[in-house]
Amino acid sequence: MGEPVTLRVNGVERRIEADPATPLLSVLRGRLGLTGTHFGCGTNQCGACNVLIDGQAVAACDTPLWAATGKDVVTVEGLGTPERPHPLQQAFIAEQAAQCGYCLSGILMSAAALLRRNPDPSEAEVRAALDRNLCRCGAHNRIVRAVLRAAKEAKP
């Protein structure tokens, strides 16, 4: 088992006693009960489990726990709340940007990473940033509109 791994999840310091090779996704969904991050493929091919690690969108399914040691992890639950929503969450509701919504938390995290590094993206930049996230229902264009709306509304 070895030493516990320490990391920050949604702003809270966590000490996790587990095999350091355990996928971060299992720790988030299991131990920490953060089920907003979803399993899609387990091999970093669909983006359903994307979270932010130090501001970068990363697939939690093939990130071992040890790789998050000392890092800042943000999941969809940490992005915002109904009382204090993130601009992306507001925009996704305003644009009704979903059908089933299973892929949504991963897409929100990819979009959040994009807006951190590029607060004013073009439509093509949004599509490029989301290209590793799969959506099967065909809500793509609504999602792109929502990300552009969030960028616009977040501007001072």
Site for other proteins in 86-125 (CB under 8 A): 89, 92-93, 96, 98-105, 108, 124
**Is 71 in a helix, a strand, or coil?**
coil
Q: Confirm if 88 and 146 have CB atoms less than 8 A apart.
A: yes
- β-strands 12-16, 5-9 pairing: antiparallel
**Is 96 in a helix, a strand, or coil?**
coil
By CB under 8 A, is residue 140 in contact with other proteins? yes
According to DSSP, the residues that pair with 50 across neighbouring strands are 59
Q: Confirm if 51 and 109 have CB atoms less than 8 A apart.
A: yes
Residue whose structure tokens are 């305003």 = 94
Site string for other proteins, 20-49 (x = CB under 8 A): --x---x--xx--xxxxxxxxxxx-xx-x-
Of 5 and 108, nearer to other proteins (C-beta) is: 108
Q: What is the Cα–Cα distance from 13 to 18, expressed in whole angstroms?
A: 16
Of 73 and 76, nearer to other proteins (C-beta) is: 76
Of 37 and 63, nearer to other proteins (C-beta) is: 37
CB of 48 to other proteins, least distance (A): 6
Q: Confirm if 145 and 98 have CB atoms less than 8 A apart.
A: no
Of 14 and 142, nearer to other proteins (C-beta) is: 142
Using CB under 8 A, which of the segments 64-72, 80-88, 112-120, 148-156 binds other proteins?
80-88
DSSP designation for 78: H
Interaction site with other proteins (CB under 8 A) = 19, 22, 26, 29-30, 33-43, 45-46, 48, 75-77, 79-82, 85, 89, 92-93, 96, 98-105, 108, 124, 126-128, 130-131, 133-144
